[in-house]
Amino acid sequence: MNILDAEGVYKTFGADHLVLNNIHLSIPEGSVFGLLGPNGAGKTTFIRIINQITAPDEGQVYFRREPLSPGHIERIGYLPEERGLYKKMKVGEQALYLARLKGLSRHDALKRLKHWFVKLGIEEWWGKKVEELSKGMQQKIQFVITVLHEPSLLIFDEPFSGFDPINANMLKREILELKEKGSTIIFSTHNMSSVEELCDHIALINDSEVILKGSMEQIRKDFRSHSYELEFTGNYNKMEATLSSDYQIENSFQKEDKQYITVKLLHNLTTNQLIQQLLPLGNLTGFKEVIPSMNDIFIHAVENHTKAV
Amino acid sequence: MKTSIILQREYSTRVKKKSFVIMTILAPLLMAGFIIGYSYLIMAEETEERLIGIIDDSMIMHESLQNTDAIKFELIDSKGDENIKELYDQSNYHAILFIPENITISNTVKLFSESQPSQAITSHIKTSIENYLEDQRLIQEGISRELISSLKVRLNLDSIKWGSDGSVSVNTTSTAMIVGYLGGFLIYFFIFLYGVQVMRGIIEEKTNRIVEVIISSVKPFQLMMGKIFGIALVGLTQFIAWVVLIAGFSFIGLTYFSPSHDAADLTPAPVTQDIMASNPAGEAIEAAGLNMANPDMIQMIMNELANINFVTVLLLFLFFFIGGYLLYASLFASIGAAVDSETDTQQFMMPVTLPLVLGIMVMINAIQNPDGNIAFWFSMIPFTSPIVMMVRIPFGVPVWELSLSMALLILTFIVTTWLASKIYRTGILMYGKKVSYKELWKWIKYSR
């Protein structure tokens, strides 16, 4: 089941500026969904539509098959990219205020806040003014505020910007824990390594259109290059001659007594056939598939799309 | 519901601020201090004794100058005005008055001193000599001063108003002026002070980048209204605190520090009248100072005040205060949403502050002619009506005019709030963009 379905969403600013062009997206319940795309692609606008900050010109977004309505706001937690806090207000007071705006009662909000503050070891910040905290500390508070009302859908827009590695790790842990508990998480980011670590589904938006979407597994399969990295000791020249035109050597270099070679399989040959060819020629010490990184996929997809347009 | 949570925060963070507490307590203290100090000063000045030397070439004119409690005269045994400077330097005279021989023809005397003699002194000398010269001429013509006095007419004009219920009240202009002026000015002051606070609050939320967090929980309109109403309550709190505190402090102050009553017998009248003629604002202060000093006058003003229907005036004040504030606060809110920082507000502030300042200018005119055309029209136009109508109310305004003005005000603030909400919800999410009027118009036209 999908927690969110966007169907044919259009959004324009003014008469001439198309921001979202016929967006169809489905976000499976319980997934960590990566919403990727270059700056200005329309990600934030799409997220704002989900949060009902703005409405689509055409099309409809469904939350668990119901058209999005104000009642859903309390089931969504949103950490915007442009996020901040009242500088002069005390941390505890502020967290309480924002939690109550999300529909929690004062009593519940207080109880949950205490729990989170203890969990993250930040109890002593309760009475401090926000301006006394570092940026990273403020981010922690913002994270707590976002998840406090235990929403079933969480949206993080560039959550790692401004975090040091230690806090970023903590954030990843917390996100995975929330997923374990059954929350669905939408993740908008440029940080591709975190996408690889966390996401199981992605959609790539470029120039107001969805150009790529699906599960990570499927996308990786689609973007397979059929290239393999070999670690080889033996007669390289002979090997190079042996590999017929069914193979393409993409890269090759020697380091100490080992030869490192990247080979691409052509004509649907299997890896076993390649290994058979190699075994008589020397000693094969390493063999692994070259998996396209999300970074490569991202750049590849965006460049192709831009060329097509 | 959520609007009330926002309202609470806007209210409590502001009311708890040190600057608010200080301002709320200090301003009435200063004001009360000013009232007490002013009335004290008037008295003190007149009780300080000044010695004026007279060189009288006419031989007789000095007899016309009578000593008062504060001004003493002393005839100097000297002639001509050549060596006055030396005489002055050698003596302790506050000033030296030179009366020339041909005074009856030239009608001129000269007063020499190093510091500017007070108006009390100059007007005392002036009226004394004038009276003396006039008497001389009257005698020459064979008319006695008693005759003149008996011929003089002093007309009392009591303007009596019929209320719609047939009641009769005596309205006294000067008190109505004071009440009207105070009301109008307070409205101007509060609209400005708290309208700008709305704007600042919104800019703060924009620069803090907290606004998107909040509007993912509440509608931008709720956030804007919560802020506007929260700050309105702050304004009302301050206003009520001021009224209570000023009354309290003044009462305590005047009970314990009031100058003795005999000082009030001295006539500061000439001074006051001069100011009164030229400046109604001066009069308000003057009257305030005087009424504190003189128990009879307090009684009189109390009587006059009793003739103004205070409950009505107060209720109307609250209405125009809130109506005017809402109208302008929504405009200030859209400015706040349109800009990134306070330094960018300049270009948009102008058209908002202009009608306010115009209102104050018209108010000064309207206070003298509360039923005139200008007063009428500007008390109908919603952008100036809260200030101008407030001035007219103590003088009595026909019910239809009041209702029309109030209806127009309500209608206009609904429209401005609606426009502001459109600008607001687009503006708060725009960063780093210099906004023009054309752009604002585009925002208003966005469907959502």
- pLDDT digits 0-9 by tens, B390-406: 888 888 788 899 999 99
Could you tell me the residue range of the domain that residue B387 belongs to?
Answer: 2-40+171-445
Q: Which of the residue ranges B241-245, B415-419, B443-447 has the most confident prediction, judged by mean pLDDT?
A: B415-419
Classify domain A225-289 by CATH number.
Answer: 3.30.70
Name the least confident of A247-251, B229-233, B399-403, B443-447.
B443-447
Residue B316 resides in a domain: yes
What's the rounded mean pLDDT across residues B242-265? 65
B52 pLDDT band, cuts 50/70/90, is confident
pLDDT string in tens for chain A (309-residue length): 899 999 999 998 876 788 899 999 999 999 999 999 888 888 989 999 999 888 888 999 999 999 998 889 889 999 998 888 998 899 999 999 999 998 899 999 999 999 999 988 889 999 999 999 988 888 889 999 999 999 999 999 988 877 788 888 888 898 899 999 999 999 898 878 888 888 999 999 988 899 889 998 888 888 887 888 888 887 777 777 777 667 788 888 888 778 888 888 877 778 888 888 778 878 888 888 888 888 888 888 888 888 776
Indicate whether B194 and B137 sit together in one domain.
no
Nearest to A84 among B13, B209, B442 (CB): B209
Q: C-alpha distances in angstroms, B348 versus B328, B352, B361, B429?
A: 13, 7, 21, 18
Residue B217 to residue A57, Cβ atoms within 8 A: no
Between residues B35 and B236, the one the model is more confident about: B236
Indicate whether B354 and B262 sit together in one domain.
yes
Which residues of chain A have a CB within 8 Å of the CB of B442? 14
Which residues belong to CATH 3.30.70 in chain A?
225-289
Tell whether A12 is within 8 A of chain B (Cβ). no
Q: Which of the residue ranges A181-185, B44-48, B57-61, B69-73 has the most confident prediction, judged by mean pLDDT?
A: A181-185
Which residues belong to CATH 3.40.50.300 in chain A?
2-221
Residue B231 resides in a domain: yes
Q: How far apart are CA B297 and CA B264, in angstroms?
A: 11
Indicate whether B199 and B67 sit together in one domain.
no
Residue A80 to residue B216, Cβ atoms within 8 A: yes
Between residues B136 and B11, the one the model is more confident about: B11
Indicate whether B75 and B16 sit together in one domain.
no
Nearest chain A Cα distance for residue B426, angstroms: 9
What residue in B sits closest to A11 (Cα-Cα)?
Answer: B448
Indicate whether B218 and B366 sit together in one domain.
yes
Residue B209 to residue A87, Cβ atoms within 8 A: no
Tell whether B44 is within 8 A of chain A (Cβ). no
Which residues of chain A have a CB within 8 Å of the CB of B7? none
B161 pLDDT band, cuts 50/70/90, is low
Residue B278 has pLDDT above 80, yes or no: no
Nearest to A101 among B13, B204, B217 (CB): B217
Indicate whether B178 and B105 sit together in one domain.
no
Which residues of chain B have a CB within 8 Å of the CB of A162? none
Residue B217 to residue A87, Cβ atoms within 8 A: no
The architecture CATH gives domain A2-221:
3-Layer(aba) Sandwich (3.40)
Residue type present at position B147: L
pLDDT computed for residue A168 by the predictor: 85
Indicate whether B28 and B130 sit together in one domain.
no
Candidates B216, B218, B428: best to mutate against A (most CBs of A within 10 A) is B216
Q: How far apart are CA B143 and CA B137, in angstroms?
A: 9
pLDDT computed for residue B302 by the predictor: 61
Name the least confident of A191-195, B157-161, B315-319, B336-340.
B157-161
B281 pLDDT band, cuts 50/70/90, is very low
Which residues of chain A have a CB within 8 Å of the CB of B204? 86
Residue B213 to residue A53, Cβ atoms within 8 A: no
- The residues, ordered by sequence, that sit 6+ positions from B297 with a Cβ below 8 Å of its Cβ are B290, B291
Tell whether A76 is within 8 A of chain B (Cβ). yes
- pTM of this prediction exceeds 0.95: no
- The domain boundary residue, chosen from B124, B143, B162: B143
Nearest to B216 among A14, A78, A84 (CB): A78
Indicate whether B282 and B398 sit together in one domain.
yes
pLDDT computed for residue B272 by the predictor: 37
CATH number of the domain enclosing B52: 3.40.190.10
pLDDT computed for residue A74 by the predictor: 87
Indicate whether B209 and B322 sit together in one domain.
yes
What residue in B sits closest to A106 (Cα-Cα)?
Answer: B5
Tell whether A197 is within 8 A of chain B (Cβ). no
Nearest chain A Cα distance for residue B23, angstroms: 19
Tell whether B216 is within 8 A of chain A (Cβ). yes
Indicate whether B133 and B235 sit together in one domain.
no
pLDDT computed for residue B167 by the predictor: 59
Residue A101 to residue B6, Cβ atoms within 8 A: yes
| Beta carbons of B440 and B430 less than 8 angstroms apart | no
Name the least confident of A9-18, B247-256, B385-394.
B247-256
pLDDT computed for residue A164 by the predictor: 81
Kindly provide the b/e burial profile for residues A30-49, where b requires at least 16 CB atoms within 10 angstroms of the residue's own CB. Answer: bbbbbbbbeeebbbbbbbbb
pLDDT computed for residue B288 by the predictor: 44
pLDDT computed for residue B386 by the predictor: 92
Nearest chain B Cα distance for residue A183, angstroms: 18
Q: C-alpha distances in angstroms, A171 versus A154, A164, A181, B212, B319?
A: 13, 10, 15, 21, 52
Indicate whether B177 and B271 sit together in one domain.
yes
pLDDT computed for residue A259 by the predictor: 82
Nearest to A84 among B5, B208, B220 (CB): B208
| Beta carbons of A104 and A148 less than 8 angstroms apart | yes
Which residues of chain B have a CB within 8 Å of the CB of A79? 213
Tell whether B19 is within 8 A of chain A (Cβ). no
User: What is the domain count for chain B?
Assistant: 2
Nearest chain B Cα distance for residue A84, angstroms: 4
What residue in A sits closest to B426 (Cα-Cα)?
Answer: A54
B290 pLDDT band, cuts 50/70/90, is very low
Indicate whether B287 and B398 sit together in one domain.
yes
Candidates B5, B7, B217, B219: best to mutate against A (most CBs of A within 10 A) is B217
pLDDT computed for residue B260 by the predictor: 45
Which residues of chain A have a CB within 8 Å of the CB of B203? none
Residue A53 to residue B212, Cβ atoms within 8 A: yes
Tell whether B7 is within 8 A of chain A (Cβ). no
Name the least confident of A239-248, B61-70, B349-358.
A239-248
B144 pLDDT band, cuts 50/70/90, is confident
pLDDT computed for residue B280 by the predictor: 42
Between residues B433 and B138, the one the model is more confident about: B138
Which residues of chain B have a CB within 8 Å of the CB of A14? 442, 446
Between residues B170 and A148, the one the model is more confident about: A148
pLDDT computed for residue B289 by the predictor: 43
Q: C-alpha distances in angstroms, A149 versus A77, A298, B263?
A: 8, 34, 72
Residue B149 resides in a domain: no
The yes/no answer to whether this complex scores an ipTM above 0.85 is no
- The domain boundary residue, chosen from B127, B143, B159: B143
pLDDT computed for residue B334 by the predictor: 92
Candidates B1, B8, B209, B212: best to mutate against A (most CBs of A within 10 A) is B212
B152 pLDDT band, cuts 50/70/90, is confident
